[in-house]
Amino acid sequence: MADFLQQLNESQREAVIYNDGPSLVIAGAGSGKTRVITYKIAYLLKNGISPHSILALTFTNKAAREMKVRVTEIIGENMTRLLWIGTFHSIFSKILRREASRIGFYSDFTIYDKQDSKNLIKNIIKEKKLDDKIYKPTFVQNIISKAKNALITPKQYANNCDLIEQYNQAQKAYILYDIYLTYSNRCKIANAMDFDDLLFYTYLLFNECKEIAQKYWNRFQFILVDEYQDTNFAQHEIIQQLTIEQHHRICIVGDDAQSIYSFRGANISNILNFRSIYPESKLFKLEQNYRSTQTIVNAANSLISKNREQIPKTIYSQKAIGEKIRLTGFYSDYEEGSRVANCIAEMHMLKKYEYKDFVILYRTNAQSRIFEEALRKLNIPYKIYGGLSFYQRKEIKDVVAYMRLASNLADEEAIRRIINYPNRGIGDITVNKIIAAASFHNTILWEVLSNPLSYNLKINAATFEKLKKFQLLINRFVEKVSTQNAYNAGRMIIRETGLINNELYEDQTPENISRIQNLEELSNSLYTFVSSRIEEGNANIKISDFLAEIFLLTDQDTDKNENINFVTMMTIHSAKGLEFKNVFVVGLEEGLFPSELSKQNLQEIEEERRLFYVAITRAKENVILTYAKNRFQNGQFHDRLPSRFIKDIDEQYLSLPSKSHVCTNSGGGGSFKESSLINHQNNQSNIGDLRIGNKIRHKRFGDGRIVALIGKNDNAQATVEFEQVGIKQLLLKFARIEMINDD
DNA sequence: CTTTTAATATTTTTT
DNA sequence: ATATTAAAAG
């Protein structure tokens, strides 16, 4: 037992072994935060706490999975199987499915994704004949989301003077209330919850059913929360519901400097106020960074010190001083892309880094494209995270909508999506009649659609027949879904929706081929899902079980090739918690990073600065910052200035490409082109290990042998005799060559 | 009711 | 540039 505690430093160990009451662990970037949580869980288990009574909450499935793996490594699988480690959303949806009847839902409720919920809001606005220029669906969606995150019910919303004040006109506030109320009712009738509902209803459940709350607070004798700075008000309150009235055994871990989700309702004051809520709580600070060089840590400190709101702490590193942070500007986004790609190729070749040692971090997903092209040109393997996840692809969502409907006939958004896809002659007019009748009679769409005559639907005989046919098709699916396992039922649905034959098989465009492959992939994952559950001893796995699982999956969770060596590309947001040897932070421009939209107020600028802090602190060895003076965005070219955040970093940690001021636009351009991303500290660096006589391979010219090496630094050139194309002079700075074995 | 065409809005970050 | 929506033609 003492053994595994030896692997911790003094302050980590103190945090791990204190378990008598609430504790707050402020953990700087790279200070072993996950380590503390996992060791604490192991420590608790070794001290006789039952795994059944420990709850650990994270923000991503990936973090949860990793945590479980690491606890298992310390303490063995038998103990960890019963642990509840998961995201807020997945743990709460598990609880809600168990207790669904208490709050007027059925346990197989659908989870509406953002698109579903936006569509529903859009339809409600239309049905109420409101002007969607004033009540923009996205805006209304945000209002509703904020209300739920603040635990405000529609009823409370109506009476909330602050809000009425805020919208300046009672009229508008009232209409928003009305939409919110209708939206809530429609979701309930559809037996559906959106992401916010998973938190909101959990709170209501615990609040209104004391005996249920009691059941869970008795059960969870110890609660751990990771990334507490990212909790919103609802999450914060639920945690308190589970701990405050009884045992107070809660440990929260976080770093206020890494709070980057306020747009999603995260509230930094949750972590700042923790100590006043639990006055007896103990505070632990983890200040030693084990990840990055001193230069990186110091540079990050100098950056974050420009923010006002923060818990004081001194993050330090005892690793090597390390290289300075490199900063380079380019003429265009295009040049930025190709030079970053070249730099990766060069560092890969000359400095013996593997591709997986690199990450390119950007502010917006849209920036990935240029880097993707540049890397592909150089044949560098890469993987882009984010963007469209597998389950958000159209063809997958279509089939999944059939599955959703078959296992929850109340699902309004699923019906709307597929009632006329593939085309079966049931258009908007008919659908709107059905919806009108359904909301008039306060019933589900399916009910009206199945008995159009008893609801006095004004449709002609032909439409009646079409509805009948649709109804029969779905009924067959329903039957299959309730009798067969997920795989068999899913296969049948994929086959018989007719999507493959009608829509996709017609012409063999690459897009269609990939869509069909995706459907096969879906069928494969159904198979894996069912068989892995059977291994765990649960036979009889239904489509609804599968759906419950995939609703909360994101792109990062569907990753299959973990082991392959590739350059990673992702947004800074999704990079949180990860680390890489070399980090490129690209697009450091005013209007992009910080984003144009965040320039309104200081708080948002501070959040963007924290985001930059997160980006820099991902790096173990090198940070390379780039910006473009001109960028193509939203269909046009924009001149761009370097980001204000660049000058927030203490200059002593930066290595500039030239003496010109990087933060003004008066640099005269010329200096940018000559700058190289690589620090050429010695004459040999471009030549690297190349020697006369070495055999090399060039992407375009093929194989060849070096006959001469001349020049130094950026001018280093090699004369190469190629087998196919004869003698060529190559400027090593740009040449894409690799050494190959001579045999 | 569907398909085609033209116009218009839209983009930050995500469980 | 792309996606979504409205209008017009079939």
Give dist(CA A665, CA A640) in Å, integer: 9
What digits encode the pLDDT tens for the residues A428-480? Answer: 888 888 888 888 899 999 999 999 889 888 888 888 888 998 999 999 999 99
User: Residue A624 forms beta bridges with which residues?
Assistant: A326, A584
Q: Cβ atoms within 10 A of the Cβ of A693, count?
A: 9
Q: Is the CB of A136 under 7 A from strand C?
A: no
* pLDDT of A260 above 70: yes
- Report the distance from CA of residue A168 to the C1' of nucleotide B13 in Å, as an integer: 29
The nucleotide whose C1' lies nearest the CA of A555 is B14
* pLDDT of A311 above 80: yes
- Report the distance from CA of residue A648 to the C1' of nucleotide C6 in Å, as an integer: 48
Mean pLDDT of chain A: 84
Does domain A4-99+201-286 match CATH 1.10.3720.10? no
Is A684 assigned a catalytic role?
Answer: no
Is A34 assigned a catalytic role?
Answer: yes
The nucleotide whose C1' lies nearest the CA of A263 is B13
Backbone angles phi, psi at A647, to 5 degrees: -80, 0
- Using the C1' atom of nucleotide B11, identify the protein residue whose alpha carbon is closest: A634
Residues within 7 Å (Cβ) of strand B: A 59-61, 87-90, 114, 136, 138, 195, 260-261, 263-264, 363-366, 386, 420, 423-430, 463, 552, 554-556, 570-571, 573-574, 595, 597-598, 604, 634-635
CB contact set of A569 (below 8 Å; sequence gap of 6+): A359, A360, A362, A368, A371, A372, A382, A383, A384, A385
Per CATH, the number for A316-387+559-655 is 3.40.50.300
CATH topology of domain A110-190: Arc Repressor Mutant, subunit A (1.10.10)
Is A377 assigned a catalytic role?
Answer: no
Give dist(CA A31, CA A285) in Å, integer: 10
Give dist(CA A591, CA A153) in Å, integer: 36
Chain B bases near protein CB atoms (7 A cut-off)? 1-3, 10-15
Of the ranges A381-390, A501-510, A524-533, which one carries the lowest mean pLDDT score?
A501-510
Interval A704-719 mean pLDDT: 63
Instruction: Tell me what pLDDT residue A506 has.
Output: 58
A29 is in an annotated binding site: yes
Q: Which one of the listed residues A13, A14, A34, A647 is annotated catalytic?
A: A34
Cβ atoms of A610 and A304 closer than 8 Å? yes
Give dist(CA A588, CA A272) in Å, integer: 30
A34 is in an annotated binding site: yes
What digits encode the pLDDT tens for the residues A84-133? Answer: 999 999 999 999 999 999 999 999 999 998 888 888 888 888 888 887 77
Question: Does residue A156 sit in helix, strand or coil?
Answer: helix
Instruction: Tell me what pLDDT residue A699 has.
Output: 56
Cβ atoms of A395 and A361 closer than 8 Å? no
Q: Is the CB of A423 under 7 A from strand C?
A: no
- Report the distance from CA of residue A202 to the C1' of nucleotide B12 in Å, as an integer: 29
CATH topology of domain A410-536: PCRA; domain 4 (1.10.486)
Chain C bases near protein CB atoms (7 A cut-off)? 1-2, 5-6
A27 is in an annotated binding site: yes
Q: Is the CB of A635 under 7 A from strand C?
A: yes
A313 is in an annotated binding site: no
Q: Is the CB of A634 under 7 A from strand C?
A: yes
Amino acid in position A340: V
* pLDDT of A2 above 90: no
Burial of A301-317, coded b for 16+ CB within 10 Å and e otherwise, reads: bbbbeebeebbebebeb
Instruction: Tell me what pLDDT residue A535 has.
Output: 83
Q: Which one of the listed residues A108, A227, A230, A255 is annotated catalytic?
A: A227
Is A227 assigned a catalytic role?
Answer: yes
- Report the distance from CA of residue A462 to the C1' of nucleotide B2 in Å, as an integer: 16
Q: What is the pTM of this model?
A: 0.84
What digits encode the pLDDT tens for the residues A550-590? Answer: 888 776 666 555 567 899 999 999 898 899 999 999 999 99
Question: Does residue A422 sit in helix, strand or coil?
Answer: coil
- Report the distance from CA of residue A406 to the C1' of nucleotide B2 in Å, as an integer: 27
User: Is pLDDT larger for residue A703 or for residue A742?
Assistant: A703
Instruction: Tell me what pLDDT residue A269 has.
Output: 85
